[in-house]
Amino acid sequence: MKSWRNLLIGVIVFVLCWAGLDFYLTREIKSGYNYAVNGDSADIIKDQGVILQQTSLDKGDILLLGSSEVGTVFEQNARTFFPTNEVPYMVNAVGRAGILNLEHAFNIDSLDFSKNQKVVYLVSYAWFAQDSSSPDSFYANFSKNKFYRYMTDWSIPDDEKIQTAERISSLIRTYSNTDDMDAWVYAELCKYCAPAFTWIEAAAYPGLMFEQAVLSTKDKAASYLYLKDLGPYEMKAPASTDWEKEYRNADAEGSKLVTNNDFYFEDSYANEIADILPGQKNIDASLDLESSQEFKDYEICLKTCARKHIKPLIIVESVNGWYYDYKGVDREKRIKLYNRLCAMAEEYGFTAHDMSNLEYTPYTYYDQWHLGWRGWLYVDQKITDYFGSDS
């Protein structure tokens, strides 16, 4: 009897210490938040975690979701362009190379938007050009914490969870011997025992919630240390935007760095691909733009936004038209893709814009599909129209 009492006391002390640590970390992160976090677009702690993004949201910032393009270094990049007098908000950029729709769906589901619903979603052509969800790229951005949050969210229908588990099962199979093996095992169980999913979910729920709590505290500890290492941040003074002047500056900057090719690639990128360029002619003439698994994942992301009662500004990025003509991708096929993605978003009542009319505008992209000087200004204008004081 005494041993049981000692065990109970030990458990109570452990839980109290854990709760105290979690409370302390949360308080320190929220009070000591550094806006340098917002501009750090490639930080895995922020992207895979929750607390830094949630703190930014609670402060009123715009959450910008994308992939590798958000990390590009242009003064027109939304993460450095704002705040302005018209849009007096900071932009928190979340996105890295390889991140895709399903991971953004997990990310959105993990956040509380009750105080702030300002979200911009940059949708990349590259996601749908093939089944681009390679296991390596996906796992590099995979967050078990967010996956478990998603799978324990009772507001999500069972069929959607089963579909998601099937996708996770295939994408992280290669990494089933890592620390995330339990996530793969659970996904496999949901996949192969779908008829009994309700029972599996109920039985696994306590364990998933416990591990989620552990992962949440680890996220806070890593975020706390990350904030400690950041230097001081000098906030930009907001100013009024003269769009004509901004576009003249963008063209001037682009023209200095685009001088040696007919595709309007930045010179350094043109030099980088010079050796392989002859082999790219008509290489994608038979590319299928209608069957990627990403369409289903994009639908899951849209459903997640609707369930969280947010209406994101969705911008469907196009590509460098000159280069994709050269690669043999018919423009009509590309337009059909952009229209489909916008129509899917509009079915949920979301505002969607596509950049198809900028495929042949110099300096919109600095390579084949990453936003350049004019491309980022287009995004900035749409953000201003959507979230600005005159919207």
Which range of 44-53, 196-205, 289-298, 377-386 scores highest in mean pLDDT? It is 377-386
Average pLDDT, the chain: 90
Which residue's structure tokens are 């709760």?
19
**∠ CA(361), CA(311), CA(288), 5° rounding?**
50
What is the residue type of 22?
D
Query: What tens digit of pLDDT does each residue of 258-294 get?
Result: 999 999 999 999 999 999 999 999 999 999 999 899 9
| pLDDT beyond 90 at 358 | yes
| pLDDT beyond 60 at 42 | no
Which range of 12-26, 40-54, 240-254 scores highest in mean pLDDT? It is 240-254
| pLDDT beyond 90 at 177 | no
Sheet containing 313-316: give its strands across: 91-94, 62-65, 119-123, 313-316, 351-354
Query: What tens digit of pLDDT does each residue of 197-208 get?
Result: 999 999 999 999
pLDDT computed for residue 133 by the predictor: 63
Mean pLDDT of 285-310: 94
Helix, strand, coil: what percent of the chain each, to 5?
60, 5, 35
pLDDT computed for residue 132 by the predictor: 57
Mean pLDDT of 57-67: 95
234-239, long-range: CB < 8 A, 24+ apart: 235/35, 235/90, 236/80, 236/83, 238/83, 238/84, 238/85, 238/88, 239/84, 239/85
Dihedral of CA 290/93/41/267: which sign? Answer: positive
Buried b (16+ CB within 10 A) or exposed e, 243-272: eeebbeebeebbeebbeebebbbbeebbee
Mean pLDDT of 84-104: 91
Query: Confidence band (pLDDT; 50, 70, 90) for 235?
Result: confident
Neighbours of 172 (CB within 10 A): 21
Query: Confidence band (pLDDT; 50, 70, 90) for 221?
Result: very high
* Alpha carbon distances (Å) from 387 to 81, 178, 225, 245: 14, 42, 33, 21
Question: Please, are residues 301 and 104 in contact by the beta-carbon 8 Å criterion?
Answer: yes
CA 80 to chain centre: 17
Q: How many helices (DSSP H) and strands (DSSP E) are in the chain?
A: 17, 5
Query: Confidence band (pLDDT; 50, 70, 90) for 36?
Result: confident
| pLDDT beyond 80 at 55 | yes
Mean pLDDT of 172-184: 75
Tokens for 368, please give them. Answer: 């084949």
- Domains delineated in the chain: 34-135+235-387 (3.40.50.1110)
Angle, nearest 10°, between helix axes 2-31 and 51-58? 50
Residue-wise DSSP of 337-381: HHHHHHHHHHTTT-EEEE-GGGTTSTTSBSSSSSB-HHHHHHHHH
Question: Please, are residues 294 and 133 in contact by the beta-carbon 8 Å criterion?
Answer: yes
Report the predicted TM-score, pTM, of the whole model to 2 decimal places: 0.93
Query: What tens digit of pLDDT does each residue of 249-258 get?
Result: 999 999 999 9
Query: Confidence band (pLDDT; 50, 70, 90) for 1?
Result: low
Query: Confidence band (pLDDT; 50, 70, 90) for 6?
Result: confident
Mean pLDDT of 21-38: 89
Q: Which residues pair with 354 in a beta bridge?
A: 316
Query: Confidence band (pLDDT; 50, 70, 90) for 175?
Result: low
Query: What tens digit of pLDDT does each residue of 326-348 get?
Result: 999 999 999 999 999 999 999 99
The DSSP call for residue 335 is: H
Mean pLDDT of 83-96: 93
Report which secondary-structure segment, H or E, holds 119: strand 119-123
Mean pLDDT of 152-179: 85
Query: What tens digit of pLDDT does each residue of 131-146 get?
Result: 556 777 778 788 999 9
Which residue's structure tokens are 């910008």?
64
3-state secondary structure of 63: strand
Q: Which of 333, 376, 315, 354 has the alpha carbon at shortest distance from 123? A: 315
| pLDDT-above-90 percentage for the chain | 67
